[in-house]
Amino acid sequence: MLDVSVGKLLEDVAKRHPVRDAVVYPELGLRYSYEQFDLLCRQVAKGFMKLGIEQGEHVAIWSTNKPEWLTTQFATGKMGAVLVTVNTQYQSAELEYLLKQSDATTLILMEQYRGGSYLDILYEVIPELKTAEPGQLQSKKLPYLKNIILLGKERKAGMFLWDDIVAMGNEIVDVDLDERMEQLHPDDVINMQYTSGTTGFPKGVMLTHSNLTNNAVNIASCMNLSDEDRMCIPVPFFHCFGCVLGTLACVTVGATMVPVQEFNPKTVLAAVETEKCTALHGVPSMFIAELNDKDFEQFDVSTLRTGIMAGSNCPVEVMRAVIDRMGMTEITIAYGQTESSPVITQTRVHDSLERRVETVGKALPNVEVKIVTPGTEEEVPFGVQGELCTRGYHVMKGYYNNLDATKAVITEDGWLHTGDLAVMDEDGYCKITGRLKDMIIRGGENIYSREIEEFLYQHSKVQDVQVVGVPDPKYGEEVSAWIILKEGSSATEKELREFCKGKISRYKIPRYIIFVTEYPMTASGKIQKYKLQQLAMEKLKLESNV
């Protein structure tokens, strides 16, 4: 178990591997050694201190995987501010909610995202910004917010530029930063991430140095990651997948980080080829996009060995293609949630192919997992479905300013209730069978979306499938399947139902089959099933049973 702050971890690794590549952005021609990156993070940490940011203050960042995001992660880790990550797809109401709920004193942001202006959104939320002096913001809606830092070159009303912060670092002596670092405790909250919004209203998950560094160490160990590895990271930093399974896991062993600023399959494949990456992370939809890119065969991805597929259900056929066509023979599956820092279980590189495609692995070291009867603490036998619960160093400190919500998911003796349904075998390997809220009950029969999704995925024309329950006056709920067909393919509802007949129970065959080209998703790549349910009700003119 590590007993170190995020910032000290980077410093220690930089001393061991000073000249090894720490960060490479092929798109930008940017390359830092570990020594250079550590010095840059120190400089920015001192800049934050000069700005007046104290230990424990909340610093929000609203950006894609830019170099400044990565620097901010470790700079706050050195000077003790809590990094609040902001979803890149947020709009005005969501941004206002997060800044208010988090009590953020500082916001770092880029200018625009996918054609939309972040600046316009910010001025809408904070009209006072247009007449404020940098660092002197006084907002009626957001009384804590004082500092806005823009990742750009052109000065805007009320804002500092990133370069200002870097320059401010010259006004703080190194000994002051060292003293601040010495004051940090591994159990201090250092990161706050808001639940992705696939269900319910976002809550601020408080994660500590110890939560994150130890989870990252164990994740890297499961992948056999070493200082010889080079990891391509196209998953968003604002999500644990990017900043724990990605950047922090690399730093724990001195591996090279090769971030992609915004996901594009060609950009990812080019980065892997150019930098000879040995590891690649992604949610299933990312791997699907890479494998189906028309120029896939033109890229040399032969250096790939390992990586992690996580974030949503990992279809068996996609996993097989990643192993066979991308050469990722040691790819692992990880399962968890933000509240658990995030990984609870992970497969190991030497696990059988069957275990790596059919399970989400077994508990990480120093992590407990049990399967209980939903709504109780009573463990079920091996092979019996129940709710997955976990306990250990990785469980969050709680939801920020939300004690009731914290008590609802963490028991007095430390068990976190995930809300996910699972079965565990005698060796501790778990299969996720759905969410408690993702279960479809049709006429008294329990139906698990995952089972139907895996079955339909075997159809030769199906690229991706998501199954959700929709209201039905007779049976309570019916099954709807949302299907993306492979490029150039066409299919009918009848054809897919015929494929099901005789192979799965009649009550599991989707009553509704809807062909789409994309799914509503969070910026971290999670499919928002509740939105599919809403769309189904509108499209099919169904009435809610609630």
Per-residue pLDDT of the chain (546 residues; tens, 9 = 90+): 899 999 999 999 999 999 999 999 999 999 999 999 999 999 999 999 999 999 999 999 999 999 999 999 999 999 999 999 998 888 888 899 999 999 999 999 999 998 889 999 999 999 999 999 999 999 999 999 999 999 999 999 999 999 999 999 999 999 999 999 999 999 999 999 998 554 556 899 999 999 999 999 999 999 999 999 999 999 999 999 999 999 999 999 999 999 999 999 999 999 999 999 999 999 888 999 999 999 999 999 999 999 999 877 677 788 889 999 999 999 999 999 999 999 999 999 999 888 988 899 999 999 999 999 998 999 999 999 999 999 999 999 999 999 999 999 999 999 999 999 999 999 999 999 877 767 787 876 768 788 899 889 999 999 999 999 998 877 888 999 999 999 999 999 999 999 998 888 788 999 999 999 999 988 778 888 889 988 988 988 877 654
* Residue position matching structure tokens 């062993």: 253
Cβ atoms < 10 Å from Cβ of 255: 26
Peptide bond into 342 cis (omega under 30): yes
Q: What is the DSSP string of 368-412?
A: EEEEE-TTS-PBPPTT--EEEEEEETTS-SEETT-HHHHHHHB-T
Measure the CA–CA gap between 216 and 253, rounded to whole angstroms: 10
- What is d(CA 544, CA 534) in angstroms, rounded to the nearest whole number? 10
Q: Which pTM does this prediction carry? A: 0.87
Which DSSP string corresponds to 210-258? Answer: HHHHHHHHHHHHHTT--TT-EEEE-S-TTSHHHHTTTHHHHHHHTPEEE
Q: What does DSSP say about strands 416-424 and 386-392: parallel, antiparallel, or unpaired?
A: antiparallel
Q: Which two tokens stand for residue 542?
A: 């169904």
Q: 95: part of which helix (H) or strand (E)?
A: helix 92-102
Give the largest Cα separation in the chain, rounded: 74
- The domains of the chain are located at 6-194, 443-540
Fold of domain 6-194: Rossmann fold (3.40.50)
CA distance 23 to 229: 12
d(CA 398, CA 84): 14
CATH of region 443-540, choose from 3.30.300.30, 3.30.70.1140, 3.50.50.60, 3.40.50.620: 3.30.300.30
Q: Which residues pair with 205 in a beta bridge?
A: 193, 399
